[in-house]
């Protein structure tokens, strides 16, 4: 397995219809090109394997993708590692996308990974491991009264 920092490029040069090209790569997380200060952080290299073959005016790509990423827990903000696995990963691309015999799959792979990132994660899977610690700061109901008799809303109660 080779390690590339720049992305995923597959040689399709001269591939005759039906001949397949196998690939197995370990990509540096840098290829995700995440903005500085982003909460989403790659934990490990991204493993990609599969095959590409030409079918008429199309290039078919089939394979799998595995990555370990981390986000803060939605409840306690503790850094939480989770897996992104895309299997099967399938693409049908026009043959004219291959430039100089190379098919650059970097951007479609990046999009596929980012689309699999969950909107929120919790450090304990379904629930936050620190939920009991945080619950004491929330009123038992959605609304409560302050010392001066004023009613206040508890908007974050539903996070637990």
Mean pLDDT of 68-79: 92
Q: What is the pLDDT of residue 4?
A: 42
* Total-model pTM: 0.75
Q: Who wins on pLDDT, 57 or 68?
A: 68
**Residue 20 to residue 134: CA distance in whole angstroms:** 54
Q: What is the pLDDT of residue 140?
A: 59
pLDDT, tens digit, for every residue of 87-97?
A: 898 988 888 88
150 exposure class (CB count in 10 Å sphere: 0-12, 13-18, 19+): exposed
pLDDT, tens digit, for every residue of 102-158?
A: 888 889 999 999 999 999 999 988 888 888 888 777 655 555 556 666 666 666 666
Q: Are 41 and 52 in contact (CB under 8 A)?
A: no
Residues 6+ apart with CB under 8 A from 75: 122, 123, 128, 130, 131, 134, 159, 160
114 exposure class (CB count in 10 Å sphere: 0-12, 13-18, 19+): middle
Q: Convert 35-61 into a string of H (helix), E (strand) and C (coil).
A: CCCCCCEECCCEEEEEEEEEECCEEEE
- φ and ψ at 80, to 5 degrees? -125, 125
Q: What is the pLDDT of residue 35?
A: 87
What is the β-pairing status of strands 79-94 and 143-145? Answer: unpaired
Buried b (16+ CB within 10 A) or exposed e, 47-80: bbbbebbbeeeebebebebbbbbebbbbbbeeeb
pLDDT, tens digit, for every residue of 10-25?
A: 877 655 566 788 899 9
Q: What is the pLDDT of residue 16?
A: 59
pLDDT, tens digit, for every residue of 25-55?
A: 999 988 888 888 889 999 999 999 999 888 8
């Amino acid at each position: 397995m080779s390690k590339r920092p720049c992305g995923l490029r597959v040689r399709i040069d001269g591939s005759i219809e039906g001949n397949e090209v196998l690939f197995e790569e370990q990509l540096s997380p840098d290829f995700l090109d995440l903005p500085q200060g982003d909460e989403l952080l790659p934990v490990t290299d991204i493993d990609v394997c599969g095959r590409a073959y030409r079918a008429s005016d199309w290039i078919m790509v089939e394979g799998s993708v595995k990555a370990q990423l981390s986000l803060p827990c939605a409840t306690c903000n503790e850094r939480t590692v989770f897996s992104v696995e895309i299997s099967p990963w399938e693409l049908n691309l026009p043959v004219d996308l291959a430039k100089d015999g190379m098919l650059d799959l970097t951007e479609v792979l990046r999009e596929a990974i980012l689309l699999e990132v969950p909107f929120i994660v919790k450090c304990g899977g379904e629930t936050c491991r620190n939920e009991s610690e945080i619950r004491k700061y929330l009123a038992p109901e959605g609304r409560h009264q302050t010392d001066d008799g004023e009613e206040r809303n508890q908007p974050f109660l539903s996070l637990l």
